[in-house]
């Protein structure tokens, strides 16, 4: 009993000292509670399906930010990790009969191996050369998928996978919980010394190397970590849809990941996650509304493009950083964030005005 009381006191202390002091952290906490409480409000199959896919894509978008946002390694073919993990997961499940809790992590390890294979030749490339090279890998793999239909299922893909869980509500809780946990892990990585080094590589790789940092090792680490988290998303997708097909490798998916991340706000982890949670359900709502207007078939994509362009025009760093900067300010001395109305920093008492 004493242990429980001590634990509760510790949690309350963390809430009071670390979470409730900043509006952005309170918002994240409320968002997480609302997500977990959603099935108590509705268990509609369609709504839960949209939210499950949104959680899976949120993991994928955050994994792209971990690589491209924090290290500056612009990856235009991020669907490669997603697709590789989906196919590996499907093969392990269909051929060896492995259940999802084994096939998904092993599928993610397949994506890590892919991250090594892609990362090594990309280490010396920068800018547009790196972007085009990463873009080529999912196209090459797509060709292999069509070349070996006996293994990959060709155009139809591999279908009939074991269900993720026994019910739609459990699917929702598994994917949402994993999104919250993996999102927290990715944010913690970027907030650690490793994240600082990844920042340094993005800002000035030569200076980072001159400071004694093995930039090659850290860039490979970023490729592997990003591949692992994207692989988890790919495995979840394969088991939830019960299918691993060429659509998991499409270039359109890679670009959609970039749009979600840039819209929400790169170099933050939570920005891409928020971008997916705003844009993906928004597109579904638009689909439902515009189904009543068959004479306007292209309006959905037009509205989507206009929303993204207007956001980037007036909020170049993304929606979430823009909103955060409205309610928080950064201490000029210690760089810790404070509520915008504070006159002195909550850590070092420096003047905030």
User: Mean pLDDT over residues 176-186, rounded?
Assistant: 95
Task: Identify the DSSP state of 78.
Answer: T
Instruction: Name the CA dihedral angle for 334, 340, 342, 348, rounded to a multiple of 10 degrees.
Output: -10
How is residue 343 written in tokens?
Answer: 């006159």
Residue with tokens 């306007």: 296
Q: What per-residue confidence (pLDDT) applies to 348? A: 85
How does pLDDT run across 129-177, given as a tens digit for each residue? 888 888 888 888 889 999 998 889 888 899 999 999 989 999 999 999 9
- In sequence order, what DSSP letters do the residues of 188-206 get, joined into one string? HHHTSHHHHHHHHHHH-HH
Bridge partners for 159 per DSSP: 243
How does pLDDT run across 228-257, given as a tens digit for each residue? 999 999 999 999 999 999 989 888 899 999
Q: What per-residue confidence (pLDDT) applies to 297? A: 63
User: Among 76, 51, 39, 64, which Cα is nearest to 229's?
Assistant: 64
Strands (E), the chain: 158-159, 243-244, 328-330, 337-339
Q: How many CA atoms lie within 13 A of 147 on its CB side?
A: 6
How does pLDDT run across 190-221, given as a tens digit for each residue? 989 998 898 888 888 888 888 888 888 898 89
User: Among 55, 75, 57, which Cα is nearest to 67's?
Assistant: 75
- Give yes or no for residue 1 having a pLDDT over 80: no
User: Mean pLDDT over residues 262-285, rounded?
Assistant: 92
- Give yes or no for residue 15 having a pLDDT over 90: no
- In sequence order, what DSSP letters do the residues of 50-71 get, joined into one string? HHHHHHHHHHHHHHHIIIIIHH
How does pLDDT run across 308-334, given as a tens digit for each residue? 889 888 888 899 999 998 888 888 888
User: Among 188, 178, 190, which Cα is nearest to 71's?
Assistant: 190
Q: What per-residue confidence (pLDDT) applies to 27? A: 92
Q: Are 86 and 287 in contact (CB under 8 A)?
A: no
Residue 141's SS3 state is helix
User: Among 298, 314, 303, which Cα is nearest to 279's?
Assistant: 303
**For residues 281 and 289, what is the distance between their CA atoms, to the nearest angstrom?**
12
């Amino acid at each position: 009993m004493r242990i429980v009381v001590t634990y509760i006191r510790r949690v309350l202390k963390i809430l009071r000292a670390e979470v409730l002091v900043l509006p952005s952290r309170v918002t994240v906490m409320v968002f997480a509670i609302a997500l977990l409480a959603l099935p108590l409000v509705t268990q509609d199959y369609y709504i839960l399906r949209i939210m499950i896919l949104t959680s899976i894509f949120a993991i994928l978008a955050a994994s792209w930010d971990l690589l491209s946002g924090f290290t500056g390694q612009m990856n235009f073919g991020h669907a490669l990790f997603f697709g590789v993990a989906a196919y590996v997961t499907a093969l392990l499940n269909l051929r060896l009969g492995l259940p999802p809790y084994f096939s998904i992590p092993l599928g993610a390890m397949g994506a890590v191996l892919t991250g090594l294979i892609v990362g090594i030749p990309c280490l010396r490339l920068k800018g547009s050369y790196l972007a085009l090279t990463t873009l080529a890998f999912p196209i090459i793999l797509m060709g292999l998928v069509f070349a070996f239909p006996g293994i990959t299922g060709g155009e139809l893909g591999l279908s009939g996978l074991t269900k993720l869980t026994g019910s739609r509500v459990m699917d929702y809780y598994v994917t949402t919980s994993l999104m919250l946990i993996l999102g927290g892990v990715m944010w913690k990585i970027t907030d650690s010394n490793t994240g600082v080094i990844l920042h340094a590589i993005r800002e000035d790789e030569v200076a980072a190397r001159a400071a004694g940092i093995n930039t090659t090792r850290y860039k490979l680490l970023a490729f592997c970590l990003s591949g692992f988290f994207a692989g988890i998303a790919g495995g979840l997708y394969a088991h939830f849809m019960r299918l691993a097909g060429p659509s998991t490798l499409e270039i359109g998916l890679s670009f959609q990941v970039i749009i979600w991340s840039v819209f929400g706000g790169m170099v933050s982890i939570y920005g891409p996650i928020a971008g997916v949670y705003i844009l993906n359900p928004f597109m579904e709502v638009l689909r439902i509304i515009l189904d009543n207007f068959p004479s306007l078939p292209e309006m959905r994509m037009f509205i989507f493009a206009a929303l993204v362009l207007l956001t980037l025009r007036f909020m170049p760093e993304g929606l979430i950083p823009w909103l955060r900067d409205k309610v928080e300010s950064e201490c000029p001395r210690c760089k810790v964030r404070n509520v915008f109305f504070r006159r002195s920093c909550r850590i070092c008492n420096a003047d905030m005005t």
